[in-house]
Amino acid sequence: MVTVRDVARAAGVSISTVSRALTAPDKVAASTRERVATVAAELGYLPNRAASGLRAGRTGTFGLLVPDLSNPYFAAVTKGVAERAREHGLGVFVVDSEEDPEIEAELLRGLAHQTDGVVLCSPRDVTGDREVVGAKPVVVVNHRIDGTVSVGSDNTAGIELAVEHLHALGHRRIAYVGGPTTSWSDEQRRAALAEAGRHRPDLEILTFGPHRPVVEGGTAAAGVVVASGATAAITFNDVVAVGLVRRVQDLGVRVPHDLSVVSFDDTFLAHLVTPSLTSVHTDLRGVGRQATDLLVRRLAGAGGADGEPATDTLLPARLVVRESTAPAASLLPPG
């Protein structure tokens, strides 16, 4: 293993000069800096993060906690985080809580202890998690929690886009197939739906749920959605939409002819399935990147939990229209 001593010897300087040349370039003469850099590169020197972290009090690493890596939503966010971390030269510990609050708390504790800060990505209420993390900076994805920096999708705008689209297509009775009660996004969307309904007296909005955010959640909802007489549905996410579509088709309801469906998230599933799904898109990778940038800013700042005021960043929603939505049957010419 090549250490600072090796580089120092080869460059004919002291180890502190090597350290400075590599971490605080302006505190060393240009010529020295260059020589050290060259020698370091030749020797293939890589600083030992454990050692530098131990001494400097920061590890150059942060943690990312997600509930389920195989969920395309979190996979996309994770990619954004990983990508941006690399650009910042930071390491990332990725942990998967398997949607289990206990595991989540345990992992989070460990994560907070070994890293400089944490990006906390959880659909659940993470208020309790906050104190597990202690004084380390946290950025929360997909929640708005008092006293934390958060990043998320603009669910309100998303709902408005979905409703607007369906309303314009002539739908007047829209079902919302909601997610888990613990989901903050779901809460937001329900509130936004109520608001959207208030603005459109001719519109009737029916809400169903809670449903698990899996295929079975969608299949479970199919019966009541069909029975409700709704001509369009908005689902909690793509996967629920897939379940819903499949089951209503089994019941003889055609999508989009008899039922239009708009999903949330627009993960790659949305354009993979048949019919492809009209979906409320958010740049999830961007969410991850943004969360990372916010964390890095806090890391660079006071470093503590109170380094910066709580902020709430919303990434814009965009509606991607595909095959699962069509004009309400009543608008079609008869026959």
Distance CA 58, CA 42 (A): 27
Residue 192: helix, strand or coil by DSSP?
helix
Cα–Cα nearest to 159, from 191, 122, 202: 191
Q: Is residue 117 within 8 Å of 134, Cβ to Cβ?
A: no
- The least CB distance from residue 273 to a copy of itself, in Å, is 6
Residues that bind a copy of itself (CB under 8 A): 46, 48-51, 53-54, 59, 68-70, 72, 75-76, 78-79, 82-83, 86, 91-96, 98, 103, 107, 109-110, 113-114, 215, 239, 242, 246, 249, 268-269, 271-274
- The least CB distance from residue 30 to DNA, in Å, is 8
Stretch that binds DNA, among 52-60, 137-145, 157-165, 237-245 (CB under 7 A): 52-60
- The least CB distance from residue 136 to DNA, in Å, is 14
Between strands 138-141 and 91-96, the pairing is unpaired
Report the partner that residue 246 touches, choosing among a copy of itself, DNA, none (CB closer than 5 to 8 A by kind). Answer: a copy of itself
Does residue number 54 form part of the binding site for DNA (CB under 7 A)? yes
Report the partner that residue 210 touches, choosing among a copy of itself, DNA, none (CB closer than 5 to 8 A by kind). Answer: none
Q: Is residue 53 within 8 Å of 59, Cβ to Cβ?
A: yes
Binding residues with DNA: total (CB under 7 A): 30
Q: Mask: binding to DNA, 30-49, rule CB under 7 A, as x and -? A: -xxx-----------x-xx-
Give Rg (Cα) of the chain: 25
Residue 69: C-alpha distances to residues 13, 31, 96, 174 (Å): 47, 47, 6, 32
Report the partner that residue 204 touches, choosing among a copy of itself, DNA, none (CB closer than 5 to 8 A by kind). Answer: none
Closer to DNA at the Cβ: 25 or 229? 25
Does residue number 16 form part of the binding site for DNA (CB under 7 A)? yes
Distance CA 263, CA 168 (A): 17
Burial class (CB in 10 A: 0-12, 13-18, 19+), 27: exposed
Report the partner that residue 228 touches, choosing among a copy of itself, DNA, none (CB closer than 5 to 8 A by kind). Answer: none
For residue 61, the 8-state DSSP code is E
Residue 42: helix, strand or coil by DSSP?
helix
> Site residues (CB under 7 A) for DNA?
1, 3-5, 12-20, 22-24, 27-29, 31-33, 45, 47-48, 51-52, 54-56
